[in-house]
Chains A and B, each alone.
Chain A
């Protein structure tokens, strides 16, 4: 049996899905967390397949994720719908219920958040309601896993459930529906006839197309709709919405009493955090604190200890002497000590900082602030040609770019969606945090502003890219207006937060043990072997294969300050996973350390760069340039085009290079270095960027028009 989970955004579908199937899909407190349909099997009965669908308000989709839900419900004929209803928003949630009732699919209505209803002192007569809508209603709390056995029981006996009664419209609409039902359209099933007829009446062009309705029949249907609109003096959308809400209030009459509440706690918080003057300072302070605390204070303290004491003084020497006393071959000692502990160990050493960062991000995602941040930033993003909706992917990307790129599915406008996909990885993700912490600690002297500055540079890069690209043909055009539901604030449960943090830390550690482990072993090999006069053999690091390769590409990076082959090689390995930048530096510098005097990793890192501005340029380049392969793969999937993927990667890398060039060259000039050709290039890049930012988009239009003539 196939069961679909359908409901409004942020009503707890995925929480219920997790409870029913025992999975741990990501949940959060903003509309649009789930953007794909996910299948799972019922814990208690593996024959029942449950599909979690992205949230929808109606069967008229506006974005890609909503289309997925609509198509599943209308065209894939699930045997049963579990309609999850946020019982504290009964009227609005029933709007979808009324439409689901028209699909002719048997339905169970699950009243979620009934604990909030009780707390508010509201009253719902579920028994009478169930009778009126013609579908069983089961009260649950998905979060507290209450009412789940009753729901399971109902699902198991679903064969007895009949499709619910569809809403009755006024006589003129009913007549119009009947006319469409009687036309020569071939409906997929007899039960879904009414539902499709209503969609056609609503002028749903996609439905007309997918049912391959003949043009003549479509024209007749259009006549029916137009006639109805003329009679009522209102457009069909408003007409049906009015009727449905009218139907809902009739159904709820006497079954639902709500205690009047003037202002809720959420309203009070919103008045402050979305205030015209306070909103931006509040947002900036939150993000500043998140990065400042996780990188500079608490996190740094823990990471320093792990790197210097735990790995540096305990594990590394112990492993070295232990292995040597066992008579282990020199190369194996080197592989384990330099390669594995030096590389993977250095990466793992940043886990405490990530833990603190993930703690903050999970709190922000759970408490309900995300949607507010989108609302607040809309003011600014509108000026860049984007909508506040694009800000949600950016916020998610501060954890990881891959789900950030996926989250762009909720953006209705295709051009804005592309623009957001291209720019969302500018925001430093968890994997880039170790790079920030390493450079910040080793070169910037642990300056408190490094990590927050990188975050805001990321946002600035999004803004600059959007402004420049929006002035070009493929991106120009109006953005869809911003409308977003803002959930209630709530205190996240410690269990939920820790679960999120655990999931993220776990995947970081797994990545360190697999991808990073292999990459470090490869780097160790490449940096330990090379062609010498005696042929291919183990050699010192400066004659290794990696040094040869690194020296080949290093000249590219010389103008931006990291012409040392080690930094160049680290940057390239960052494509596999950004943690590798730290891992590779760890391997290479642990190795060279062994031959030189013991200076510690941080001094070794500092010695790679001629100046502070060079190190900062290295850092900024690595934050902005092409993301890791996993993220590039996500870009490819979302763009669904090789050309666009290539464009995204090229744009990111070129912009990163331009910014790094300016940082290093202007830094040099400020340090009193002589003016060189590269300084000239940096000035040219600055002028070019300013022109691209400030130019009028009309110029291009005129140019093309003239050419046409």
Chain B
């Protein structure tokens, strides 16, 4: 399911990240890769704070939409 619909506090594993561009590569570098565990810390107007590989990353809505768990 898309990460957008995941409630706060849930920890799930990433299934797929759409796109093939510079920003997707950047997400890959930060640890957003298939199989990685991601936790939703906070959500504000669709923008999310996610926990990935021990660090906390703020990501805008349009990118959150591309991540599937």
CB distance from B69 to the nearest CB of A (A): 16
B27 touching A275, Cβ below 8 Å: no
With an 8 A cutoff between CB atoms, is A324 at the interface?
Answer: no
CA distance A274 to B33 in the complex (A): 25
What chain A residues lie within 8 Å of B23 (beta carbons)?
480-481, 483
B44 touching A481, Cβ below 8 Å: no
CA distance A60 to B22 in the complex (A): 9
B33 touching A92, Cβ below 8 Å: no
If A238-B33, A241-B28 touch, whether A92 touches B49 (CB-CB below 8 Å) is no
CB distance from A627 to the nearest CB of B (A): 30
Could you mark each residue 23-43 of chain B with 1 if its beta carbon is under 8 Å from any beta carbon of chain A, else 0? 111111111011110000111
CA distance A245 to B33 in the complex (A): 9
CB distance from B18 to the nearest CB of A (A): 11
Residue of B35, B45, B58 touching A276 (CB-CB under 8 A): B45
Which listed segment binds B: A171-179, A371-379, A541-549, A562-570? A371-379
If A245-B33, A483-B26 touch, whether A274 touches B49 (CB-CB below 8 Å) is yes
B49 touching A270, Cβ below 8 Å: yes
What chain A residues lie within 8 Å of B27 (beta carbons)?
483
16 contacts between A and B (CB under 8 A): A60-B26, A91-B54, A235-B20, A235-B24, A238-B28, A241-B33, A245-B33, A267-B42, A270-B49, A274-B49, A275-B44, A376-B44, A379-B45, A387-B60, A481-B62, A482-B60
A482 touching B58, Cβ below 8 Å: yes
B49 touching A482, Cβ below 8 Å: no
CA distance A237 to B41 in the complex (A): 27
A238 touching B17, Cβ below 8 Å: yes
With an 8 A cutoff between CB atoms, is B12 at the interface?
Answer: no
B30 touching A92, Cβ below 8 Å: yes
What chain A residues lie within 8 Å of B28 (beta carbons)?
237-238, 241
With an 8 A cutoff between CB atoms, is A58 at the interface?
Answer: yes
> What is the interface of chain B mostly: helix, strand, loop, or mixed?
mixed
With an 8 A cutoff between CB atoms, is B63 at the interface?
Answer: yes
A89 touching B49, Cβ below 8 Å: no
Which of A372, A375, A382 is the most central at the interface, judged by chain B CB atoms within 10 Å of its CB? A375
CB distance from A586 to the nearest CB of B (A): 45
What chain A residues lie within 8 Å of B25 (beta carbons)?
60, 237, 241
Contacts between chains A and B (CB distance < 8 A), count: 122
B29 touching A482, Cβ below 8 Å: no
B44 touching A274, Cβ below 8 Å: yes
What chain A residues lie within 8 Å of B33 (beta carbons)?
238, 241-242, 245
B41 touching A270, Cβ below 8 Å: yes
What chain A residues lie within 8 Å of B56 (beta carbons)?
266-267, 270, 485-488
Q: Which residue on chain B has the smallest CB distance to residue A241? A: B28
With an 8 A cutoff between CB atoms, is A159 at the interface?
Answer: no
Residue of A89, A238, A382 touching B34 (CB-CB under 8 A): A238
With an 8 A cutoff between CB atoms, is A271 at the interface?
Answer: yes
* Interface residues in A, total, Cβ within 8 A: 45
Residue of A237, A276, A372, A482 touching B59 (CB-CB under 8 A): A482
With an 8 A cutoff between CB atoms, is A95 at the interface?
Answer: yes
Closest 4 CB pairs of A and B: A241-B28, A375-B58, A237-B25, A482-B60
CA distance A480 to B9 in the complex (A): 28
CB distance from A66 to the nearest CB of B (A): 10
Residues of A within 8 A of B (CB): 57-58, 60, 62, 88-92, 95, 235, 237-238, 241-242, 245, 258, 263, 266-267, 270-271, 274-276, 279, 371-372, 374-376, 378-379, 382, 387-388, 480-488
B47 touching A483, Cβ below 8 Å: no
What chain A residues lie within 8 Å of B41 (beta carbons)?
267, 270-271
If A245-B36, A483-B27 touch, whether A89 touches B54 (CB-CB below 8 Å) is yes
Q: Which residue on chain B has the smallest CB distance to residue A122? A: B54
> What is the interface of chain A mostly: helix, strand, loop, or mixed?
helix
A279 touching B44, Cβ below 8 Å: yes
What chain A residues lie within 8 Å of B31 (beta carbons)?
91-92, 95, 245
Residue of A267, A375, A485 touching B47 (CB-CB under 8 A): A375
Residue of B20, B30, B60 touching A237 (CB-CB under 8 A): B20
* Interface residues in B, total, Cβ within 8 A: 37
Q: Which residue on chain A has the smallest CB distance to residue B57? A: A485
CB distance from A384 to the nearest CB of B (A): 14
CB distance from A441 to the nearest CB of B (A): 38
What chain B residues lie within 8 Å of A487 (beta carbons)?
56
Q: Which residue on chain B has the smallest CB distance to residue A270? A: B42
Q: Which residue on chain B has the smallest CB distance to residue A486? A: B56
CA distance A482 to B63 in the complex (A): 8
CA distance A90 to B49 in the complex (A): 20
What chain B residues lie within 8 Å of A88 (beta carbons)?
54
What chain B residues lie within 8 Å of A267 (beta carbons)?
41-42, 51, 56
B44 touching A57, Cβ below 8 Å: no
Residue of A92, A274, A378 touching B60 (CB-CB under 8 A): A378
Residue of B29, B36, B43, B60 touching A481 (CB-CB under 8 A): B60
A486 touching B29, Cβ below 8 Å: no
B58 touching A371, Cβ below 8 Å: yes
A237 touching B54, Cβ below 8 Å: no
Q: Which residue on chain A has the smallest CB distance to residue B62? A: A481
CA distance A89 to B62 in the complex (A): 26
A275 touching B53, Cβ below 8 Å: no
CA distance A61 to B58 in the complex (A): 19
CB distance from A59 to the nearest CB of B (A): 9
If A57-B30, A483-B60 touch, whether A92 touches B54 (CB-CB below 8 Å) is yes
CA distance A154 to B38 in the complex (A): 37
If A237-B24, A482-B60, A484-B58 touch, whether A379 touches B29 (CB-CB below 8 Å) is no
What chain A residues lie within 8 Å of B36 (beta carbons)?
245
B58 touching A483, Cβ below 8 Å: yes
Which of B24, B54, B63 is the most central at the interface, judged by chain A CB atoms within 10 Å of its CB? B54
CB distance from A246 to the nearest CB of B (A): 9
CA distance A483 to B59 in the complex (A): 5
CB distance from A167 to the nearest CB of B (A): 14
CB distance from A536 to the nearest CB of B (A): 64
Q: Which residue on chain A has the smallest CB distance to residue B8? A: A271
CA distance A371 to B42 in the complex (A): 14
What chain B residues lie within 8 Å of A89 (beta carbons)?
53-55
A276 touching B43, Cβ below 8 Å: yes
Q: Which residue on chain B has the smallest CB distance to residue A375? A: B58
Q: Which residue on chain A has the smallest CB distance to residue B39? A: A267
CA distance A483 to B24 in the complex (A): 11
B47 touching A379, Cβ below 8 Å: yes
What chain A residues lie within 8 Å of B57 (beta carbons)?
483-486
CB distance from A30 to the nearest CB of B (A): 11
What chain B residues lie within 8 Å of A266 (beta carbons)?
56
CA distance A245 to B29 in the complex (A): 9
Q: Which residue on chain A has the smallest CB distance to residue B58? A: A375
CA distance A375 to B57 in the complex (A): 10
Given A237-B25, A274-B49, A275-B42, 6 further pairs, Cβ under 8 A: A238-B24, A267-B56, A388-B60, A483-B27, A485-B30, A487-B56
A92 touching B58, Cβ below 8 Å: no
CA distance A95 to B34 in the complex (A): 16
CA distance A62 to B22 in the complex (A): 8
Residue of B9, B29, B34, B53 touching A91 (CB-CB under 8 A): B53
